[in-house]
Amino acid sequence: MAAVNCSPPNRHFPGRTSSHPLRCVRPGTAPRSDHANRSPCPPAHSSISPPVLPGTFSMQSRSAVAANCSPASKGPPMTGSGALKKQIRPVSLVLVITSLLWAGITAGTPTAADAAQSLTPVGKFLDAVDHTFATAPPDGPHKVGVNVQSYRFQDRQLQLTTWYPANPAVGAKPYETPEHVVGTAVKDAPLDRSGGPYPLILFSPGLGAPGDGYYFYTQNLASQGYVVISIDHLDALTALPGMGTGLYTVRSVARALQALVANNSSDSVFNLFSDWFKKTQFGMTYRPAEISFTIDQAVRRNADPKSPFHRMINTNDIGMTGHSLGAAYTLLKGGMPIYCDYPLTAKESDVEHSVITDVNPCAMSEVKAMKGPFALQDPRIKAVVPLAAPCFIKDSQIARSAAQIRTPLMFINGDDPKFEASFGTQYTTYNHAVGPKYFVEVKDTDHFVVTDMIEALPPALKGIFPADDHRDFAQKADIYKAYSTAFFNRYLKGDTRGMNTLHTKKSPFVTRLWFEDR
C-alpha cells in the first residue's frame, strides 16, 4: 500500500498544516457510524487534555503481599510471594464509577446523591461476582511464569509483578487475578533459562491499576522472550476521590458530567481525583522514584547468584511501556523534557486552584526542584510504548518537548472520541518526535480494553460501556500484542523480521497507522 502525506492541521497555529512529513496507511474499512463525520486523516483538536484514567475508588485495599518481604538490596525467592486473596481492588470500582457517569450522560444527568446511592452497594456486589474471564492467549514461543514480590521502598512496601519465559509443570493451574481474569501464566513457574538473558521491559499501569491488571499484554511480551516487571504504584492502594473524604461532592460530580457532555472524559476523572493529583503533584512525588527503583531492583536480581533471575535479565536493553498515567511517565522516562523557562499565568501558578487541569506542573515543587528539563529521563531505557498517553506539559510546549525525544517510540491508542485518550496530544508528540516512531490507532476501542479487567465485570455493568468498544476483544488484543512485539523486537533485540508488521495495517481493526523508521 502506498504511503501518503497525511499531516493534520497544526493545533498550535490554527489554519496552518504541519510541515513535518509522515507516512500514513489509510484504512480499508469504513469507520463505525458514530465516527461518520471524521475525516480519514487526523482532525484538528481545539483542546487537549489527559485521558480517562483507570483510577480508583477504594473501599478495600489490595490484599497484603507476602510476609517474607526483603530489603531493597535483595529479592525474595521465586516461591515466596504468597497467594492473593480474591477480592475487589480499587481499579474495579473506578470502572463502575465511569460507567455510571457515562450512564448519566446517556440516560439523564444524576445528582451527587444519585451517584452516592448507586455506588454504595457496588463494592459488595462486585466482590460477590464469580465470573472468570479467559483473556487473550500469548503468541510467543515461550510459556510464561508470573511472580509477585514485595520490596521495602522508602517507608513502605512496593509490590512488583514479574512476567517471564518459564517451564511450568504439565497441567499447572494458570494464575487468576482477584478480578477473575485468567490467562496462561503459571505462578512461580521455573524460569526458562534456554533463551536468556532476556531484555527487560517495565510496565507502568494507569492510576489505581495493579501490576497484573493488563494480563494479556504483559504475558504476551513475556512469551516473546522478555522479562516484564509491572509496578503496583502507590496509587494502586491509596488514590481516592476526595482523598477519602466521601464519595463525591456536588461540585466534582457536576464538573465530571459537564466534561463528559463536552466529550472530555479526561477532565471528568481528573476532577474526581483533583485532591489526589494536587497532593502528589500529578504523581511526581512517587512515580518517577518507583520506576527507577524497579530498574535498580532488576539489575540487583540479575547480579545476585541467589536470585532465580541471576544472569537472565539483559540489563543493557531495557524498554518501558505503560497505560494512561503510566504512559505519561513512559514518555518522561523515555526522554520527553519538561521545560519551565516561560512565564506562567496566575491561574497556572496557583497550585491550590480548584480545577487541577488549569495548574501548570512547572508551578509544583517537585518540578521546580528538578535539575533541568531532562531530570526524569532514564538513559537506561532504550525504547518506549505509551498506551493512551495523557500529557501534563502545557499545550504550547508539547511540540518543543517532543522534538527532543530521540528514544524509539510507539503510540497505541483507541479511536473512541469520548472514552479514550485525547488523540491530539499524542499525535502532536508523535509528529515532532525525532524517531524512529510509530502510531497505531485501534478501531472501536476505548480506554479500558487494554486493561482486560472490564471483560470480567458482570454483564449488567459491562453493558453500560459502549457496546462496539467491547466486542471482538481478542482481535483488538491481537493488535496490541502484534505491534508492541514487533517494535520491541526491533529496538531491543535488533530483530527486523517484524518490520512488515510495523509498516502494514495488519487487521481491519487498525484504523490508522503512521511510521517513520529513520
pLDDT of residue 117: 43
Instruction: Specify whether the backbone of 225 is left (phi greater than 0), alpha (psi in -120 to 50) or beta.
Output: left
Q: Which amino acid is at 35?
A: H
Sequence-distant (6+) residues with CB within 8 A of 13 are none
pLDDT at 382 (0 to 100): 98
DSSP assignment of 263-312 equals T-HHHHHHHHTHHHHHHHTTTTTTHHHHHHHHHHHHHHHHH-TTSTTTTT
Is the four-CA dihedral 8, 10, 16, 21 of positive or negative sign? negative
Cell of 235: 496509587
- Residue 261 is predicted with a pLDDT of 47
Question: In 10 A of CB 115, how many CB atoms?
Answer: 21
Dist CA 402 CA 400 (whole Å): 6
Q: What is the pTM of this model?
A: 0.78
DSSP run (H or E) holding 161: strand 156-166
Instruction: Please list the residues that pair with 133 across neighbouring strands.
Output: 181
Taking CA atoms, 94 is separated from 8, 53, 82, 146, in Å, by: 34, 9, 26, 25
Q: Which of 33, 5, 47, 56 is closest to 453 using CA atoms?
A: 56
Kind and range of the H or E run holding 133: strand 133-134
Residue 268: predicted pLDDT:
55
What 3-state DSSP class applies to 166? strand
What is the C-alpha separation between 139 and 341, in angstroms, rounded?
A: 46
Question: From CA 370, how far away is CA 69, in angstroms rounded?
Answer: 31
Residue 57 has a pLDDT of: 23
Q: Helix (H, G, I), strand (E, B), or coil: what is residue 242? A: helix
Give the C-alpha separation, 197 to 193, whole Å. Answer: 8
3-state secondary structure of 48: coil
Sequential pLDDT tens for the chain (518 residues): 333 333 333 332 223 233 333 333 333 333 333 333 333 333 333 222 333 334 322 222 333 333 333 333 333 334 333 333 334 455 555 554 544 444 443 334 334 344 344 333 444 444 445 578 999 999 999 999 999 999 999 999 999 999 999 999 999 999 999 889 999 999 999 999 999 999 999 999 998 889 999 999 999 999 999 999 999 999 887 655 444 333 344 444 444 445 544 554 555 566 667 777 888 998 999 999 999 999 999 999 999 999 999 999 999 999 999 999 999 999 999 999 999 999 999 999 998 876 777 889 999 999 999 999 999 999 999 999 999 998 889 999 999 999 999 999 999 999 998 888 889 999 999 999 999 999 999 999 998 899 988 888 877 777 777 888 989 999 999 999 999 999 999 999 999 999 999 999 999 999 999 999 98
User: For residue 461, how many other CB atoms are within 10 A of its CB?
Assistant: 18
- Report the top-level CATH class of 120-234+285-338+373-516: alpha beta
Backbone angles phi, psi at 167, to 5 degrees: -120, 75
Q: How far apart are CA 4 and CA 70, in angstroms?
A: 55
Rounded-to-integer distance, Cα 96 and Cα 98, Å: 5
Domain locations along the chain: 120-234+285-338+373-516
Relative to beta strand 23-25, strand 510-516 is antiparallel
pLDDT score at 30: 34
